[in-house]
Amino acid sequence: MSTENEGAATTSAAGPQTESPATGVPETPRSDAGSSAPADTPAADTPAAGSSAAPAAPPAPAVPDAPAAPPASSASAASSAAPPVPPAGAPASPGAHEAAASAGAPGATAQQPAVSPEAAGAPTGAWYNAAGAPLPYGPPPGGPAGPGGPGAPWGMPAQPPRRKGVGGLLAAVVAAALVAGGIGGGIGYWAATHNDNGSTTISAAADPKVQSRTPGSVADIASKALPSVVTIEAQSNSGDGGTGTGFVYDKQGHILTNNHVVASAADGGKLSVTFSNGKQYDAEVIGRAQGYDVAVIKLKNPSGATLNPLPLGDSDKAAVGDATVAIGAPFGLSGTVTTGIVSAKNRPVASSDGGGGGASSYMSALQTDASINPGNSGGPLLNSQGAVIGINSAIQSAGNGGGLGGGQGQSGSIGLGFAIPINQAKNVAEQLIKTGQPVYPVIEATVNMKDSGGGAKIASSGSNGDPAVTPGGPADKAGLKPGDVITRLDDTKIDSGPTLISEIWTHQPGTKVTVTYVRDGKQATTQVTLGERRGDK
């Protein structure tokens, strides 16, 4: 990964250095967007029941304990004893089939003989069209199934008994399925006749939990945070620029974002801020810190703007595995919400605008797998309580190819996003609001940015021929010399120059730190009181 040394080598040391960074630290492109840019039941056949002569029906099964009666004189007599058949399509009465099979026709008297199905030539167990039994109301179950079959239309002659076997089972299954379909059709008919608007569409009942948006849910967090997240359009005098994100920092109209989002408009360019409700305001740069990649802008005329600052969390207390919510404008798509977790903490990251010409920044970052893309830069990384724990600033792209400053080299998220811890960003923001300039803690020693793995080596000489260790500076007072390899800062392992700078910048000037170093193969420790440097130049 290509990294600009941007004076950070000297800042961890105190001044810029032209050497490229160590390969062991991810040089990550920043995530600003340079782009300004769908059974039913078949109709029953008309029954033949209304004709003057109805054909004889198969005899009914024997009725246990029923007194004997003289046989019916003719088929017509049996037919005349049956009650009138209701019109086709009328729904069958529940239990009609059982009544017909066990007791014969309604109104039948004890004079009817008990005739076994076998003597009448009907299949054993058959109950359709039994002698003396009325047909069920409505069309036969399943409709026509062939002459004389169980589903035959009324008035058709009965067929000889079928051979038992698979065919009978299949017919029974089909009949059952069609009866079920008829029941479903009846329910659908009922629903249609009882629906005020004539529609059979059924809506799901409202879920109170969904409607209330359980506190702490992503939807709840997003609904509260989105009105305070803005999309920033930056344009230079030459017309170049891009889109980024920011969020309301205070009620005075200050917006916190990344330096690289607004850098193009810092010198006489144009800045505009758009809220989630679509209202747009002109803005101006209050202060920016290239090394931290933090900037503060302010609405020029905040009257009428709804300024609800987002609550700030404690990034030091964030733990790996904590849930995260990122909000921004990836590729100009404002108000985009993505989720993930804290994947790692204290990840040393050196980032730049990606093209090789931008100033590098260094951070001991919060790593997240929440999707961050060009345009997310400057947006908030929230925890599960909806508090800001970081400013989304950089991503690692596949193959480390392409920058995010504009053009067609833009890359997308692969689940490796980096955010500036809010504890550090807040300190920088307060400095910028008060003085317009950042303050950097330094040891005033130039470190080698190429080496990695073994530590941060103090260079043999500084930039422009200056000494690598500034005489009278913090490193000099602590006894550090050119060639010393710093391997630890307090309890943090140092594997490269960028890592050392990132870790130093998490402290405040005047803080005492313990430095572990190796000189001539021997390990030693010393106390260093951090100095300060104001401004980026």
CA distance 321 to 340: 9
Instruction: Exactly one of 260, 352, 496, 502 is catalytic; name it.
Output: 260
Instruction: Spot the catalytic one: 12, 264, 293, 463.
Output: 293
Cβ-count burial 358-388 (b if 16+ within 10 Å, e if not): bbbbbbbbbbbbbbbbbbbbbbbbbbbebbb
Degrees to nearest 5, angle at CA 418 with 416 and 421: 150
Q: Residue 220, class by beta-carbon neighbours within 10 Å (0-12 exposed, 13-18 middle, 19+ buried)?
A: middle
Active site residue 74: no
Specify whether the CB–CB gap between 324 and 368 falls below 8 A.
yes
Residue 512 tokens read as 């005492």
Task: Write out the DSSP string of 324-347.
Answer: EEEEE-GGG-TTEEEEEEEEEEEE
Burial (0-12, 13-18, 19+ Cβ within 10 Å), 484? buried
Q: How far is Cα 116 from Cα 204, in angstroms, rounded to an integer? A: 53
The pair of three-digit structure tokens given for residue 259, joined into one six-digit string: 């330096």
Verify whether residue 377 is a known catalytic residue.
yes
Q: Which residue has the tokens 């260094």?
A: 362
Q: Which of 31, 360, 361, 377 is catalytic?
A: 377
Distance, CA of 445 to CA of 447 (rounded, Å): 6
Contact 117, 126 (CB under 8 A): yes
- Rounded Cα distance, 333 and 371, in Å: 13
- Cβ atoms of 21 and 356 within 8 Å: the answer is no
Q: Are strands 336-352 and 388-395 parallel, antiparallel or unpaired?
A: unpaired
Beta bridge partners of 256: 247, 296
- For the chain, percent helix, then strand, then coil, each to nearest 5? 20, 25, 55
* Residues marked as catalytic: 260, 293, 377
